[in-house]
Amino acid sequence: VRHLMIAGNWKMHGLQRQVQALTTAIKEGVTSYTEIEVVLFPAFVHLNQVQALLTQTAVKVGAQNLYPAPQGAFTGEVSGPMLVDIGCQYVLVGHSERRMLFQEDLALVAAKCQAAVAVGLQPILCVGETKAQRERGETEAIIAEQIRTIIECVGVAALQQAVIAYEPVWAIGTGLTATPEQAQAVHAFIRHLVAQNNLDIAKAIRILYGGSMKADHAAPLLAMPDIDGGLVGGASLDADHFLAICARAHQQQSEYS
């Protein structure tokens, strides 16, 4: 049984006071959702603060980005060893906002994935197609290229310690959500791609859905056989909304167990 994960990507939001309140509310609210894994992704400057608040809880912390080199003259960047050193277990890699706003190409995403795995961080590899690509019928080709680059550059074994997030770009921050059937079709395709390289890893790897996930439509998405949780942006900034999604995931996990 794959354990469902609900991850909250806070992006570039919040000042210390809000981060304190949000983390505290989530920490207190998730204690009964023992069946699932919850991971929070605050901005770099808040990682220590969130980490300290979550000590002795099951909630984990991840970073939203890393630089591929372990150290050096890379002003403004943060490395994998630095993230491990402050207690991060996860790191987002290849988020579409970074691929698009900061021109992260396939090779850079692969290098980041490799750097994460090398220091024991678990990358959450984000993949997804744009609206135009979907309309042109290119969804599977785009996803295949994104996943195959990782397998070719980093090796399929790296996926043993990774999570994949399918995030259709047209659904991120837009209020549009993939239907459970649309998402399931892509998730099954991703699992099939991994299975062509390693069947055991394909069965075990968690594939999250991301893209305007909200509590009121999370349940049918989470009930799909190849959807193993959610990467939640906007709704993770509101503790009640985020906890409601966690509750749906907990309920779904109880049905599997």
Query: If you count them, how many residues does the chain have?
Result: 257
- Measured CA to CA, the distance from residue 212 to residue 6 in angstroms comes to 13
Minimal distance, residue 6 CB to ligand PEP, in Å? 11
Question: Which residue in 233, 247, 248, 249 binds ligand PEP (CB under 6 A)?
Answer: 233
Gap between the Cα atoms of 179 and 214, Å rounded = 13
64 lies in the site for ligand PEP, by CB under 6 A: no
Rounded CA-CA distance 98/206 in Å is: 22
Identify the CA nearest to 230 among candidates 1, 3, 4: 4
Q: Using CB under 6 A, pick the residue from 213, 218, 227, 243 that binds ligand PEP.
A: 213
**Smallest distance from the beta carbon of 212 to ligand PEP, in angstroms?**
4
Per the annotation, the verdict on 95 as an active-site residue is yes
Tell me the sheet residues that pair with 5.
Answer: 37, 229
Q: Rounded to an integer, what is the distance from CA 117 to the centroid of its chain?
A: 15
Site for ligand PEP in 2-31 (CB under 6 A): 9
Radius of gyration of the CA atoms of the chain, in A:
17
Give the integer Cα–Cα distance in Å for 239 and 253.
Answer: 21
* Element housing 144 (H / E): helix 139-154
Per rule CB under 6 A, count of chain residues that contact ligand PEP: 13
Pick the catalytic residue: 35, 97, 167, 241? 167
Quote the least distance from Cβ 144 to ligand PEP, whole Å.
Answer: 21
**Is 187 known to be catalytic?**
no
Contact between 154 and 113 (Cβ < 8 Å): yes
Q: How far is the CB of 172 from ligand PEP (least distance, A)?
A: 4
159 binds ligand PEP (CB under 6 A): no
Establish if 91 lies at the interface with ligand PEP (CB under 6 A): no
Q: Using the rule CB under 6 A, give the single segment among 13-21, 180-188, 196-204, 233-241 that binds ligand PEP.
A: 233-241
Show which residues are catalytic: 95, 167
**Contact set with ligand PEP (CB under 6 A):** 9, 167, 172-173, 210-213, 231-235
